[in-house]
Chains A and B, each alone.
Chain A
Amino acid sequence: MGRSPIRDAIQLLADNHLATIAPYRGAFVSHLEPQTELLLLEMRRELDPVLANATAENAHKEDCRRLKQLGRKVQSAIDKNDSAAIIDIDGELKELMLEVCGNPFLATSLRPIYAVCRRFYFNAVRTPDRSLGKIYLEMIEAMAAKDPCRSEKAALNVVEKVEEIARNQLVGLK
């Protein structure tokens, strides 16, 4: 591969905080402290409810249909204890929300945060968490029902649950 595509790729990784560029020297793979996850979740407490609200507000018929479909996939992945499927569905849902919300500024703010959160979460959690799955489904249903208020509350519940899981893991690490 030539240098230009590599440079572009590294720039993209850097934009998502997965690499750090050292001018005139090269790039480092970013080292992430475990506390970074809690920091990101503190940010998501403010941002996820806004995203869920905007998604519910702006979802068209076709988006609602896709949301419902994703909800069914989540349910079946939980029933089958299929973590690999959850990783894909979660990525798909987040991309759908970032697109449907209709706010490019919110989307570019959240994309790198989600990239790193996913790296943390799915590195550590090997089986689907049932109680998280339940409130996660409630969030999807609220958005599919085009209920901004309910979606906002559900999104906050999801972040709080993920935070609780992350905290327990940190305690486990020590």
Chain B
Amino acid sequence: MKQKIDIKKRVEQTLNSLDGIQRATPRPWLFSRIKRRLMQQDEKTLWETTGSFLSKPLIAIAGLCVILMLNGYLLFNQEKKSSPATLISQNEVPLDSESLMASSSSFDYENLLQP
């Protein structure tokens, strides 16, 4: 019981330990340091500004997502273009015997037919 009272007393003593607290003060010549900081900010180059903007986590992640989506879209398009049905419909190569022979031997069959 006595210990409980002691603990309560100690707790209240600790809670009141900030009574009479004075304000903390910064080191002297703060204004000079602030002025210097303002000047340094003005001197930031375009690269530093761009770099610090791009390195913000949200911006970097958003940029990465855009690049990945673009890559995915391009890959998807590429696959569509290179599928056999698409190739044949795009090129419309007549399936006669000369063209078949030319395609198998890389012979420039089409230019031969032009005047």
Binding between chains A and B: no
